[in-house]
């Protein structure tokens, strides 16, 4: 029986599943939003939110727990210095999952997972970069 077992196995054993979620979490921290399958996004959300909670605590033990899971010091640094302060006033629900529709090759349901508080900032940065590119092409 599967009582009280929320997350799926993602067709992997425990060590492979932990490595997959660690890699996805690092990618989410580094890129701020990632495109993956819906099942992976749903499995990643509670992991990412626990990591943000570690970042909001900010003590040495929380940092060591984050390093133990992520295994990338640069990702932990970005989590504690950029993502956690942006989510400081929020009580939970740091991630958003947007369904994208089926993947072309195998019709797997795809989703976009992103940080709720950083989506507005990232959008502004992308607009600025687009304006700079447009100015550079207009000058030449």
Please, what sign has the CA dihedral across residues 5, 113, 59, 57? negative
Instruction: Count Cβ atoms within 10 A of the Cβ of residue 20 and give its class: 0-12 exposed, 13-18 middle, 19 or more buried.
Output: middle
What confidence score (pLDDT) does residue 123 get?
Answer: 58
**What's residue 139's pLDDT?**
67
Give residue 119's pLDDT. 72
Q: In what order do the strands lie in the sheet with 95-102?
A: 33-37, 109-115, 95-102
- Is the domain covering 14-139 a CATH 3.40.50.11540 domain? no
Number of Cβ within a 10 Å radius of residue 135: 10
Give tens-digit pLDDT for 103-136. 999 999 999 999 999 875 655 666 677 677 777 6
Q: Which ranges constitute the DSSP H helices of the chain? A: 14-31, 38-57, 60-70, 73-78, 84-86, 119-139
CA pair distance 66, 93, nearest whole angstrom: 19
Regions of the chain with pLDDT less than 50: none
Residue with tokens 């196995």: 9
Sign of the torsion formed by the C-alpha atoms of 114, 119, 125 and 130: positive
Q: Cα dist. 137→125, 131, 133, 140 in Å?
A: 19, 10, 6, 5
pTM of the model: 0.82
């Amino acid at each position: 029986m599967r009582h009280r077992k929320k997350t799926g196995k993602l067709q992997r054993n425990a060590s492979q599943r932990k490595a997959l979620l660690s890699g996805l979490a690092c990618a989410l921290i580094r890129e701020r939003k990632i495109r993956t399958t819906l099942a992976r996004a749903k499995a990643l959300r509670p992991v990412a939110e626990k990591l943000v909670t570690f970042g909001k605590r900010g003590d040495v033990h929380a940092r060591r727990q984050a390093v133990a899971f992520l295994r990338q010091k640069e990702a932990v640094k970005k989590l504690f210095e950029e993502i956690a302060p942006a989510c400081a006033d929020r009580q939970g629900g740091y991630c958003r999952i947007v369904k994208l529709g089926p993947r072309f090759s195998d019709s797997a349901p795809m989703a976009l997972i992103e940080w709720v508080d950083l989506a507005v900032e990232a959008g502004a940065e992308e607009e600025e970069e687009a304006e700079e590119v447009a100015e550079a092409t207009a000058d030449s």
